[in-house]
Structure 1
Amino acid sequence: MTILNRNATAYVLGHPLRFALQCLAGFRANQGLLLAGAVAYYSLLSIVPLVMLVVVALSHIIDPKELLETIGHYLEWLVPGQSGAIVAEVAHFLDHRDLVGWFLGLTMLFFSSLAFTVLENAMCVIFIHRVAVRRRHYAISAVLPYCYILCLGVGALVVTLVAGSLQVIGAENVRLFGYEWSLHGLSGALLYLLGLSGEVLLLSSIYMVMPVGRLSWQHALIGGVTATVLWEIARHVLVWYFSTLSQVNVVYGSMTTAIVVMFSLEIGATLLLFGAQVIAEYEKVARGDVTPTPPLRTPA
């Protein structure tokens, strides 16, 4: 399917609540929360070494301080309120990067890839109808996480350069109709749109690459926009909750950072997999199948 199916689109637009309930039922049948927990756990293991590898590699091209500032800004989107702790660890590691040997580098690269490997397996469960028809070669699955790490590094480079340019624009003033207008607000809005666009593109690329088989970019974009909108809502709720009502630091003490990061990753992974479920249900409707997804069962 290379374009959006007219009948499926008409069904979704005509029965949005029914389709939403169908997606929720399919997500529950596929044990979506259990899969999200696995993805979140391995993401917690991968996030620090992944950021360290990206920062060390790009610090030869970009000023480390500017790089850390940009990465910290966008990490705040992923782990609201806790990006400072991660950036501090990365900055400390960067100060001692000369002590990093090849074995430690390979170890960090391996742990950085774990989240992508588990995410690919989770996608196989949601897109089980694709796996039943065609399986991916094991060599492709082995190389895929490292290709994503490389792409994230290139993306971080581009974002840092563009963000630096926008910050320069924000420091400028424009004189119009006898008044002097600051571009700081425009710069902030463009930075937010840059991050939002990057989030949609990143999620859409995951939906295009991770599932087995060929997925059209229109379908991937449906999942990417869905997951982005839901995460933006959840992210603002998390920021409000942790800044006003949360007593997590009283309960967990020194473990607060790990617990909050894990909780944020759990919600993010849930919404990411739910976006994949939306695509899977849309494909079912396009095939004329509106029956409920059978529950995932383990062999007896």
Structure 2
Amino acid sequence: MTRAPETNARRRDLVTAEFGFARAALARFREERGLVIAASLSYTSLLALVPLVAISLSILSAFPAFEDVQGRLLQQALGYVAPHAGAEVQTYLDQFVSNTSNLTALGIVWLAVTAIMLLSTIESGFNAIWRVDSPRPLMMRLVAYWTTLTLGPLLLGAGLSLSTVIFASENLSALGIESGMSLNGAVRVIPLIFAAVGLTILYLALPHRRIEWRHALLGGLIAAILFEGLKALFGIYLSRVGTFQSVYGSLSALPVFLIWMYLGWAVVLFGAAIAAARPEWLAARASEEHGGPLTPARCLLRALQVIDVLHTSGQAGDTANNDMLLAAASGDGDALAMVMMRLHNAGYIARTDADTAVLIRDLDDFSLHDLYQALGFAIDTFDPASASETPWASDLAALLAEADDAGRNVLAQSIRELLSKTGPRLVVEIPTETSAS
């Protein structure tokens, strides 16, 4: 009799937790200025849209199996980038793409450069969402761009081909299906699935960080669903309100197109924020509660946990990746980000790439006070002569100097001496979806 209330309570806890994750993803999107990045991508897309579509069609033309879907692919692409911008914009885009077939070799190179510029801007935006400081090397970036440019059109082409086959199969009596409702549903769902897969590839390929495929897939799926819902709502707004048509007249297609590009990129970046926030949120749920402000004690604890893991990994001739560091810091992503930045700036650690780090200082070379000071929390003093007009300035300077000396003496223990204390060692386990829920 008690299992039903327990099950209901567990479901309520799960729903509450997922709402908490939604708030965390929104906070990540807001903190990393997702709307500002979306505006930048909208501007870049104006130049790169035609080259991207032209390159996609060129890739599909190399595969005879996709010959019949190239026209539908163009319609599908225009449906995503300008679903409600009016026939004028879609006609112009269609003409622009058709004109690319007459370009010279230099023009084709310029198309590729423009497309790469857009992907580079997307990568920079994703790196900001994932809080990556440095981009990957040039050759690795070009490989990631080529993967995105190649797999994206192939996935869209495969999706359109599959939907065509399913739609045609409705009329085959050999299937023994009296009604085509289920197949109609499949035809509607397939573009959504391939859009989610395409966004997942973007989230996996472009950020300079190792991304778990399940987190990227979650972000891609939610972004694809939001994208379809946004298209429907945007169409309803334009059909019922008609503000742009009444104000701009025949030029109304342009602001509609720009606003749609802006909203579309905002959805894509929000999906990236979901994928980026998921591992930190899972780690935080799996650990004990640690919230509150970034106090000096909290940051010093996280810094020592990070140094302990980096030292242990270094002793084994290995590096520690971000997931290991996040787990070592009890999932405290906010403190970890600040600690890693300050340890790097102070010369205690070095990034081998965006996902891994190593300790570059010997544990005997710095004390707890040195680490405390590197984190920016040591007591600061000042020259009383700089405030000679204040009668109590000299007394304050003396008190601060005395407090600094006392702190230096109390925290004089070396890091090696502290971390060598006997007791159970830290075992880093990366939380998963199953263990966290």
Could you say whether these structures have the same fold, taking a TM-score greater than 0.5 normalized by the shorter chain as the test? yes
1:220 deviates by 0.9
Task: Return the letter of the residue paired with 1:277.
Answer: A
Is the 8 Å Cα contact of residues 55 and 64 (structure 1) preserved in structure 2? Answer: no
Partner of 1:124: 127
Partner of 1:106: 109
TM-score (norm. length: structure 2)? 0.56
Partner of 1:298: none
Is the 8 Å Cα contact of residues 69 and 161 (structure 2) preserved in structure 1? Answer: no
Structure 1 stretches (4+) deviating beyond 3 angstroms? 10-14, 56-66, 82-98, 173-177, 180-183, 185-188, 290-294
Between 1 and 2, higher relative CO (CA 8 Å, sep ≥ 6) is seen in 1
Q: 1:290 to 1:215 in 2, by over 3 A?
A: closer
Partner of 1:161: 161
Stretch moving more, 78-87 or 42-51: 78-87
1:173 deviates by 5.7
Q: 1:95 to 1:137 in 2, by over 3 A?
A: closer
Q: Which has the higher helix share?
A: 1
1:54 deviates by 2.4
Question: Is 1:15 aligned to 2:20, yes or no?
Answer: no
Task: Return the letter of the residue paired with 2:234.
Answer: L
Structure ID, larger Rg:
2
Q: Deviations over 1:240-291 (max 9, x none)?
A: 1122222212323343333222211211211211122222222223142265
Gaps of 5+ in 1: 1-9, 295-300
1:21 deviates by 2.4
Aligned residues: 278
Partner of 2:49: 47
1:217 deviates by 0.7
Alpha-carbon distance in structure 1 between the residues aligned to 2:90 and 2:108:
19
Task: Return the letter of the residue paired with 1:278.
Answer: I
- Give the RMSD, CA atoms, in angstroms: 3.3
Partner of 1:277: 273
Alignment of 1:205-244 (within 5 A): 205-244=201-240
Alpha-carbon distance in structure 2 between the residues aligned to 1:77 and 1:242:
16
Alpha-carbon distance in structure 2 between the residues aligned to 1:117 and 1:12:
38
Is the 8 Å Cα contact of residues 85 and 254 (structure 2) preserved in structure 1? Answer: no
Stretch moving more, 38-47 or 143-152: 143-152
Stretch moving more, 185-194 or 83-92: 83-92
Query: Of 259, 265, 270, which residue of structure 2 is paired with 1:263?
Result: 259
Q: Deviations over 1:127-161 (max 9, x none)?
A: 11xx35x7521222244323321222322332342
Q: Secondary structure at 2:252's aligned position in 1?
A: helix
Stretch moving more, 252-261 or 118-127: 252-261
Alignment of 1:38-187 (within 5 A): 38-59=40-61, 61=64, 66-73=69-76, 75-82=78-85, 85=88, 88-89=91-92, 91-93=94-96, 99-128=102-131, 131-132=132-133, 135-170=135-170, 172=171, 174=173, 181=178, 183=180, 185-187=181-183
Task: Return the letter of the residue paired with 1:112.
Answer: A
Task: Return the letter of the residue paired with 1:50.
Answer: L
Partner of 1:6: none
Gaps of 5+ in 2: 1-11, 284-325, 339-437
Identity %: 21
